[in-house]
Amino acid sequence: MTVSRPAQRAARWLAIPALASALALGGCSSTPKEDPNSQQAVDKLYEDAKDDISSGNFERATKTLERVEGRAAGTLLAQQATLELAYVHYRTGERTEALAVLDRFMKLHPSSPAYDYALYLRGIINFNDNLGFLGSLSRQELSERDQQASRDSYQSFKQLADQFPGSKYAPDARERMNYIVNALAEYEVHVARYYYRRGAYVAAANRAQQATQEFQRSPAVEEALYILAMSYDKLGLVQLRDDSERVLKQNFPDSRFVSEGLREREKAWWQFW
């Protein structure tokens, strides 16, 4: 099953939910300006932080949001500031810091109305999609990278879809889950292909079998079955080879691997251009 590249739609979902929309920003004019903990002063700090985010001044926004967190502790505005802080860390490439902020938020606010967004943002931060400059130079595929981040991302999206099926973030989370599953399956096949080409047929068979068992509905299973059959053939395991070939032909009767054999593909399954 082919899924569209979900990263192209990330921006439309990442707007921070307005938890504090019900709060009247801009307190009573009689509030003393010199009181840094007044509602008016805290609201002004938050608005300043939002302006800094909009203008790209993330360093100043981070410091201001931390001040809002402290001064508005125990309020929805403080929760809002925490989510904004995680988002700013994400935007500046500080993945570890962003995840730490989200973990703290979810621990302290398990019943927050924005808990679904926190899960979604955690999934996005771990979403292993952008190969970056070095990746594009080396023609490195998504499936060739360390997949732990992708697995963590999948768990966040799954928790979101299971706990908040009606969330506005759930449909996109489910699509990203499908994308990740295909990437993880492709990763296992990539490793199996690597071992096969180097004559490590036992290792190749093990990784190919893992792909067929764990990702049965992924397109990558087709190649996994072929590598499995060829590995068994090299090991002289005739019965297992025949069984694998039979499953391959039953599930993929028009498989190109049967006629073309194992070869390096010019494009990965997820590249459409």
Among the three residues 113, 135, 167, which one is the final residue of a domain in this structure? 113
Among the three residues 52, 85, 113, which one is the final residue of a domain in this structure? 113
At residue 266, the pLDDT reads 43
Number of domains in the chain: 2
Nearest to 169 by CA among 127, 200, 229, 134: 127
* CATH number of domain containing 35: 1.25.40.10
How far apart (Å, rounded) are the C-alpha atoms in residues 14 and 228?
Answer: 41
Residue ranges of the chain with per-residue pLDDT less than 50 = 1-4, 22-27, 29, 31, 129-139, 142-143, 264-273
How far apart (Å, rounded) are the C-alpha atoms in residues 161 and 157?
Answer: 6
Nearest to 209 by CA among 260, 177, 236, 244: 244
Residues 207/185, Cβ–Cβ less than 8 Å: no
Would you mind telling me the total number of residues written for the chain in this entry? 273
At residue 49, the pLDDT reads 92
Q: What is the pLDDT of residues 129-164, one digit of tens each?
A: 443 333 443 445 544 556 788 899 999 999 999 999
In a domain, 135, yes or no: no
In a domain, 122, yes or no: no
In a domain, 52, yes or no: yes
In a domain, 68, yes or no: yes
Q: Which residues of 84-108 are buried (b: 16+ CB within 10 A; e: fewer)?
A: bbbbbbbeeebeebbbebbeebbee
In a domain, 162, yes or no: no
At residue 117, the pLDDT reads 97
* CATH number of domain containing 194: 1.25.40
At residue 16, the pLDDT reads 76
Q: What is the pLDDT of residues 89-141, one digit of tens each?
A: 999 999 999 999 999 999 999 999 999 999 999 999 998 544 333 344 344 55
The boundaries of the domain holding residue 237 are 188-260
In a domain, 151, yes or no: no
Among the three residues 95, 113, 131, which one is the final residue of a domain in this structure? 113
| Cα distances (angstroms) measured from residue 166 to each of 49, 161, 163 | 31, 8, 9
Nearest to 183 by CA among 136, 144, 224: 144
H or E segment at 177? helix 170-197
In a domain, 161, yes or no: no
In a domain, 181, yes or no: no
